[in-house]
Structure 1
Amino acid sequence: MASAQWLALILALLLIIIHLLTKDRKQNKRLPPGSMGIPIIGQSLSLLRAMRTNTGERWIEDRINKYGSISKLSLFGQPTVFLTGPAANKFIFSNDSLALKQPQSFTRIIGSRNMTEFVGADHKRLRGAVSYFLKPEILRKYVGKLDEEIRQHFRTNWFGHQQVKVSPSMKRLTFNAMCATIFGIKQGTTRELLVNEFKYMMAGMWTVPINLPFTRFHNSLKGREKVGKILTRIIEEKRSALQKGQCSSEDEDLITYLLSLGTDNDETFTEEEILDNAVLLMIAGHDTTAIVLTFICRHLANDAVTYAAVLNEQEEIAKSKAPGEALTWDDLLKMKYTWRVAQEILRTIPPAFFGFRRVIKDVEFGGYLIPKGWQVFWTTSVTHMDGSIFKEPERFDPSRFEKQSEIPPYCFVPFGAGPRICAGYEFAKTEMLVAVHYMVTRFKWSLCCKDDTFIRDPMPSPKEGLPVLIEVKASL
């Protein structure tokens, strides 16, 4: 009897093993083509090397030529599927089986309650609240405050200076704009403390998440802790003001708005959620917009025709303003050519060259299986630099965006697309237009160094911070 039981058990185990082997073989046949490379390392080092040498487009092109538009690989220790093209972009930005994915270092520094870590109802709840505050109907009320912050930045950091490093200057400008309009933090000691700790926090955002003394990641965690303490104090102050009826409006800043949401329909946000998403927005609204402004400045210094067209448009608006009068939402609506220039910068030098999505359940695309637990890797350059979508893609041509309807859907994706388009898109646009207005109407500049190339680490960064010589044209 014992022998029969052992035989039955062995037979059952064999059947299970055969089933698993068959299942894996079937699954592997359905996986996209490609090599996973060296265990753990995979293709990570070659991608990072390409980014730092600014040959990322060639790296992508070589991969497509070898494996096609869908392939598997390993990046940053994770099995990955690389997808390209308009249909892939639509799949990535609209499929509920995919969720945002950030590097572990990014999540640990920001906090686990930020919206990029959520899916389903929780993600919808957080995104909905943030999107409401950043929509045009709300933003139009903050153009004046944004105008004053940007003018103050140029008064302090450009007037009286013969030379300016554009990249760090634009990062300071966008950070101050975020503090004033999104978080209601006025100029002073609190903002200066926040700026200093924010620098430490950002330094290790995309590093190996090893928390050992003297590592960039360790210093970033310490910076995040101090930023958290400052923001927690601000949250408490705004909660107290709200309870005492001392706020002129519940949507006067994002923190006050989130605190004001009631318990109806489960809209209440915890302090941890408010804190983590405030940090997320500080990062998202800081680096990307600063990068675009930096490369607009760089391009206008090299392209006299585009510079003249932008200047002409902005001077016409300036003529309609009284001395010292702030820009309005209606003024921004007139900046059509300037925004097309910004869009062309976003097409040719997108701040985010690539991104990831995590697969939360098995999903298929193009006849292949993408298993749960894998990540999807996508890049902007494939459609942005596709000659069948954008004629002569290497040529800088703002007129491409004169008729937005002629650009196929899911092809121009610097802010994402569809239901996953960046919630801060309109804020970034507003900030860029105000900054460019005062840049071109109040200053002339020229590049200090002939070598104005840049690297991606992982975002585009010009050599030496893009130093320029400044000539003041008019006061602010």
Structure 2
Amino acid sequence: MPVIVFLTLFFLACLPLLVLRKKTRRPPHEKPLPPGSLGFPLVGQSFGLLRAMRSNTGEQWLRRRSNKYGPISKLSLFGRNTVFLAGPGAHKFVFTSDALALQQPKSATAIIGSRSLLEMIGEEHRRVRGALMQFLKPEVLRRYVGMIDHEVQRHLQMNWLGKTNINVHPLTKGLTFDLICSLVLGLERGKIREALVQDFAEMLSGVWAVPIDLPFTKFGKSLRARRRAAQLISGIVRQKKTLLEQRKCSPDQDLITCLLGLGGDGNSEPLTEEEIVDNTVLIMFAGHDTSSTLLTFIIRHLANDPTNYDLVLRENEDIAKAKAPSEALTWDDVNKMKHTWRLAMEVLRTIPPVFGNFRRALKDIEYEGYIIPKGWQVLWASSTTQMDENIFKSPENFDPSRFENPSCIPPYSFVAFGGGTRICPGNEFARIETLVMMHYVVTRFKWRLSCKDNGFARIPLPTPTDGLPIDLEPKN
């Protein structure tokens, strides 16, 4: 009897979901839904994907799905009906279609902000992206190589020199945050920067938390930290606006002064203070985690690849020998680090910081003979092309020479930085900070891994076990 009562109650609880699911079925005259199963209501395939991510077998999980259903299939993830798309054509569709909007967890939207680039589509997205690109384009960033060089050398002096054992991942996070504070905010070291560091760390912890805003929840604490950080950034924005009006600072001094200077010529609409704050927070999030992850896994790889280590070392030693003592790197120096960047690209191909992401269908969409209903999620994953043997020969092998001629790589196949109108606007900044950091690491230190477990898990970015501890030895 208790079993019958339980099953009856369970059926009644699930009935609204079953009715809702029935409503999503298409009329017989329309295109069919993609193949696949939505699984059990609410749960769907969520636990299977999360387990695979934690055990670093997410690529295999998706590959089995593609082998079973093809490059387009339906499933249910995190309580939402979802369509999974695979292949270069799918990536092109995802990155260029105005019928899709980024689907973020509610917690991420609340903490990053509703007026960030991630939340915008169409003309609004193009306007704000264009504003960010005014500062992040190569011809502007080349002027900041010296500042990045100074921050990197200071970081190594304080955190690496004189140490015999360090944990790489938390240290690279500290470096990338310092670079963002200097380049994006133009913020000197002091009480405001220290407060922002603390608030930012608390904000990060709530991005993927359950969105329950109570004083004792992780999300609630993260929201309060976000409000404090937004007040600090707003204060910086207003201060720089006053300095610009008084002509006491340059419009290209940092990202905020650049954004404040837009619209003054009457040819473009100026950004609001909310848009500047939200997109500053977005750049801080994006530039902090992804760049620190890339640096960590380059160091991890070079510890066990003597051939590529020697090539990277020789390339950077040649650059160092041509410099005067204490002379900073220049834009031309960075552009000579060709093998170093090819190696970084191969790390991004094999261990992309962003495994994939979700979009949301803004209307019913016909794709490859199937219908993607309005409101459904669309999932893309970088591994469907970057680890495809039909695109990259022997994809499991680590081979930086793949990137000697990028034009040979089919469009929308290497998507570590996204693609189309959704390509990461900060990819050039990431290239510069990665190359400057690796130049000084390989020319000043030797290292070996000291961790018992050399693995990593995705939570959701790839995170090495114990932060990647290494034994460190300075060079003479």
TM-score between both structures, scaled by the size of structure 1: 0.93
- Residues 1:451 and 2:457 aligned together: no
Deviation, structure 1 residue 29:
5.5
Q: Distance in 2 between matches of 1:380 and 1:334?
A: 28
Q: Deviations over 1:322-344 (max 9, x none)?
A: 11111000001100000000000
Matched-pair contact (CA < 8 Å) for 1:363–1:370:
yes
2:99 corresponds to 1:76: no
| Aligned equivalent of 1:200, options 202, 207, 212 | 202
Amino acid at match of 2:166: V
Distance 1:325 1:47, change over 3 A: same
**Is the contact made by 2:262 and 2:268 (CA closer than 8 Å) also made in structure 1?**
no
> Following TM superposition, by how much is the alpha carbon of 1:244 offset from its aligned partner in structure 2, in angstroms?
1.2
Q: For the structure 1 residues 194 and 21, does the alpha-carbon distance in structure 2 shift closer, same or farther, using more than 3 Å as the test?
A: closer
Give the match for residue 262 of structure 1.
263
Q: Does the 8 Å contact 2:95/2:420 carry over to 1?
A: yes
Q: Distance in 2 between matches of 1:40 and 1:464?
A: 33
Q: Which residue of 2 aligns with 1:250?
A: 251
Q: Which residue of 351, 356, 362 maps to 2:353?
A: 351
Instruction: Give the Å deviation of 1:143.
Output: 0.4
- The one-letter amino acid paired with 2:230 is G
Runs of 4+ in 1 over 4 A off after TM superposition: 20-23
Alpha-carbon distance between aligned partners in 2 of 1:93 and 1:316, rounded to the nearest angstrom: 39
Q: Is the 8 A contact 1:453 1:462 kept in 2?
A: yes
1:292-371 maps to which residues of 2 (within 5 A)? 292-371=294-373
Matching residue of 1:378 = 380
Look up the match of 2:97. 95
How has the CA–CA distance of structure 1 residues 192 and 392 changed in structure 2, closer, same or farther, with 3 Å as cutoff?
same
Residue pairs, 1:222-301, within 5 angstroms: 222-247=224-249, 249-262=250-263, 264-301=266-303
* Cα offset, 1:170, TM superposition: 0.4
The one of 375, 392, 395 aligned to 1:393:
395
Q: What is the CA–CA distance in structure 2 between the aligned matches of 1:205 and 1:291, rounded to whole Å?
A: 17
8 Å CA contact 2:31, 2:366 repeated in 1: no
Of 41, 44, 49 in structure 2, the residue corresponding to residue 42 of structure 1 is 44
Q: Distance in 1 between matches of 2:421 and 2:29?
A: 30
Identity rate, percent: 57
Gaps of 5+ in 2: 1-21
Which residue does 1:3 correspond to in 2?
none
| Counterpart selection for 1:441 from 432, 443, 465 | 443
- Worse-superposed segment, 27-36 or 327-336: 27-36
Equivalent pair of 1:445/1:468 in contact (CA under 8 Å):
yes
RMSD, aligned α-carbons:
1.6
> For structure 1, which runs of at least 5 residues remain unmatched after alignment?
1-19
TM-score, normalised with respect to structure 2: 0.93
Asked whether the 8 Å contact 2:451–2:466 carries over to 1, the reply is: no
CA distance in 2, matches of 1:28, 1:456: 39
**Aligned residues between the structures:** 454
Cα distance in 2 for residues equivalent to 1:148 and 1:115: 30
Q: Which amino acid aligns with 1:195?
A: V
Instruction: Give me the whole-angstrom Cα distance separating, in 2, the residues matched to 1:419 and 1:159.
Output: 42
Shift of 1:358: 1.5
Deviation at 1:27, TM superposition (A): 7.1
For residues 471 and 191 of structure 1, what CA distance do their matches in structure 2 show?
31
- Match for residue 88 of structure 2? 86
Q: Write the deviation string for residues 294-341 of structure 1: whole angstroms up to 9, x where unpaired.
A: 000000111111111100000000001111111000001100000000
Contact kept, 8 Å, 2:354 with 2:416, in 1: the verdict is: yes
Distance in 2 separating the partners of 1:85 and 1:314: 36
Residues 385 and 394, structure 1, Cα contact 8 Å, conserved in 2: yes
Show the counterpart of 1:164: 166
**AA partner of residue 161 (structure 1):** K
CA radius of gyration, larger in: 1
Could you tell me how far 1:40 is from its partner in structure 2?
2.0
TM-superposed deviation, 1:360: 1.5
Q: Is the 8 A contact 2:26 2:33 kept in 1?
A: no
Q: Alignment partner of 1:24: what SS?
A: coil
Residue 117 (structure 1) aligned to one of 104, 110, 119: 119
* Deviates further, 199-208 or 264-273: 264-273
Question: Which secondary structure state, in structure 1, belongs to the residue aligned with residue 295 of structure 2?
Answer: helix
- Greater Cα offset, 406-415 or 178-187: 178-187
| Greater Cα offset, 281-290 or 227-236 | 227-236
Deviations 1:404-457 (A, max 9, x none): 111111110000112221111111111100010011111111111231100001
Match for residue 145 of structure 1? Answer: 147
The offset of 1:211, in angstroms, is 1.6
Matching residue within 204, 219, 222 for 1:220: 222
Post-superposition offset of 1:21:
8.2
Is the 8 Å Cα contact of residues 157 and 169 (structure 1) preserved in structure 2? Answer: yes
Residue 27 of structure 1 contacts residue 369 of structure 1 at CA under 8 Å; is this kept in 2? Answer: no
Amino acid at match of 1:250: P
Aligned-partner Cα distance in 1 for 2:108–2:120: 15
Task: Compute the displacement of 1:113 (Å).
Answer: 0.9
- Return 283-292 or 212-221, whichever deviates more: 212-221
Matched to 2:308, the amino acid is T
Larger deviation, residues 460-469 vs 207-216: 207-216
| Structure 2 contact 96–421 (Cα < 8 Å) conserved | yes
Cα offset, 1:266, TM superposition: 4.5
The 5-angstrom pairing of residues 182-201 of structure 1 reads 182-201=184-203
Match of 2:416 in 1: 414
Measure, in 1, the Cα distance between the counterparts of 2:291 and 2:87.
Answer: 25
Deviations 1:81-100 (A, max 9, x none): 10001111111111121122
CA drift of 1:120 comes to 1.5
Contact 1:102 1:356 in 2 (8 A): yes
Which digits, 9 at most, give the CA deviation of each residue in 1:372-415, with x for residues without a partner?
21121000111111111111111111011111111111110000
Change (3 A) 1:293 1:27: farther
The more displaced of 348-357 and 202-211 is: 202-211
